[in-house]
Amino acid sequence: MRKPKSWVQLAATLILTAALALQPAALAQTKIPKPGFNFFSKDQDIKLGQEAAAQVDREMPIVHNAEMDAWLKKLAEPLISQPEAGGYPYQFKWVNDDNINAFALPGGPVYMNTGLLKHADDEAQVVGVLAHEISHVALRHGTNQASKANLFSLPAMIGGAMLGDNSLLGQLGQLGIGLGLNSVLLKYSRGAESQADQLGALLMHRAGYNPIEMANFFEKLEAISGNQSGVAAWFSSHPNPGNRVKNVQKEILTFDHRNYTRDTGQFARMKALAAKLPPPPKQPQQGAAGQASTAQIPPVSELEAPSSRAKGFESTMYTMSYPENWQVSQGEQGSVTILPKYGVVNTGNGGSAIGYGSIITERSNNSSQRIEEVAAAISQDVVKNNPGIQITAEPQRVTVNGKRTVLYMLNGPSAFQGQREVVVLAVVERSPTDTVSVIFVAPERDYRKFEPTFKNMLNSTRMR
Ligand SMILES: [Zn+2]
């Protein structure tokens, strides 16, 4: 049997009903974007991001200032603690760079240039950039785009088909996907930009920051982009989807009303700290010749494909076949280059470097050494002689026509301006004292097109 309602309960019910009746018409539904199609698992996003972050940490001037780091963490905390942020192991770092830019790697690492802080008008604008970057991570835009761009090759690859190689970044490097300027992981579509604005606005709102400041800041950057090149990097990776302020305003209308009062009160202090940092180091040198290259990568339509008809090359140590339309030139000390016409790049200042093709070098040692040791030494030479280049995967052991071979994958600045390249180094054992090493080079953008040719050349290599 139900107890009769007490008078107090009844009064409470009546007051509540009256209050409900006084509410304005229901708010339009807030639309929350969801991550799209993806071949990667969430764990793979995290692993990939951590591998990539290790590379970024080595290559970029990371700021080590406890106060600035703590502040960034404090700003991010109320954003990443929301369920829509996906629970990723987020990490935030300042990069000592006056260019206005920020970027996020899959699975959580976020990098903010100090140039951003210098140009922001208030704390909420810095939070806006954070919220936008966090949204790219949560919506998994990097690996979503990589999945869409590599519909056929990726599933087998990330399913573990690549033998002996446990670096995801290294595996992606074999598809020509890396961290370069035009990387599919970092260069977002306009659709992804709108989504990151949309989710970013919601995260800001709930955290107590006015979402309009995010859009305001991006519009401000747009306004100065005409006369300040320092902002170009931002827009090349985060293209303007158009009507940012209007779209965010529209979205704010779907949120419950709130006074945006959160503020750490430390913005001015952080600006002062950023201003006192030592001047950012010069950009790392580009190009295999160790000089900033001014050469432009040829348009894809101008790359003559490697001929399927083969020609043979013979040295005293080995024979190899190569595409008929590539050219052989003999270099010093038993080294040979076999390249397409556009393989040699004039990098400016009288320098030249190889942008596409192969370099084959014979080596003899006085004493016998294990092939793994010889290969490790050769890979270190490659790293030493090419500033900015990194080994991206554990070496793989294979055999080439019965000969023990060690394969290295590397990634570094290309001979073409602003590009990165994939380098494959194969060290083939001829005898306990002799090795033949074959280096293949192609810009990340085109690597997949050249990979079959590289494989054919390597597989055709026979010791004599
Ligand atoms: Zn973006």
> What pLDDT is attached to residue 154?
62
* Dist. CA 33 → ligand 1 center (Å): 14
Q: In this structure, what DSSP letter does residue 165 have?
A: -
Statement: residue 24 has pLDDT above 60: no
Q: What is 300-463's CATH number?
A: 3.40.1000.10
Q: In this structure, what DSSP letter does residue 157 have?
A: I
* Dist. CA 127 → ligand 1 center (Å): 14
What amino acid occupies position 75?
A: L
Instruction: Grade residue 185 by pLDDT with cuts at 50, 70 and 90.
Output: confident
Q: Where in the chain is the domain with CATH 3.40.1000.10?
A: 300-463
* Dist. CA 290 → ligand 1 center (Å): 32
Find the Cα–Cα–Cα–Cα dihedral 139, 36, 182, 97, rounded to 10°: 0
**Protein residues within 5 Å, CB atom, of ion ligand 1:** 188, 193, 196, 238
* Dist. CA 119 → ligand 1 center (Å): 18
Q: Which residue has the higher pLDDT, 259 or 68?
A: 68
> What pLDDT is attached to residue 161?
37
Write the burial class of residue 143 (CB in 10 Å: 0-12 exposed, 13-18 middle, 19+ buried).
Answer: buried
* Dist. CA 55 → ligand 1 center (Å): 21
How many residues does the structure list for the chain? 464
User: What is the reported pTM?
Assistant: 0.60
Cβ pair 182, 138 in contact under 8 A: no
> What pLDDT is attached to residue 69?
97
> What pLDDT is attached to residue 172?
72
* Dist. CA 387 → ligand 1 center (Å): 30
Q: State pLDDT tens for residues 191-226.
A: 999 999 999 999 999 999 999 999 999 988 888 876
Instruction: Grade residue 3 by pLDDT with cuts at 50, 70 and 90.
Output: very low
* Dist. CA 128 → ligand 1 center (Å): 11
* Dist. CA 87 → ligand 1 center (Å): 19
> What pLDDT is attached to residue 71?
98
* Dist. CA 296 → ligand 1 center (Å): 26
Statement: residue 418 has pLDDT above 50: yes
Q: State pLDDT tens for residues 304-315.
A: 999 999 999 998
Of the ranges 78-87, 217-226, 272-281, which one carries the lowest mean pLDDT score? 217-226
Nearest to 461 by CA among 417, 421, 407, 419: 407
Summary mean pLDDT of the chain: 83
Residues forming a β-bridge with 362 = 436
* Dist. CA 221 → ligand 1 center (Å): 13
> What pLDDT is attached to residue 284?
46
Beta strand pairing call for 109-113 and 91-95: parallel
Q: State pLDDT tens for residues 127-179.
A: 999 999 999 999 999 999 888 876 666 665 555 534 444 677 776 766 666 66
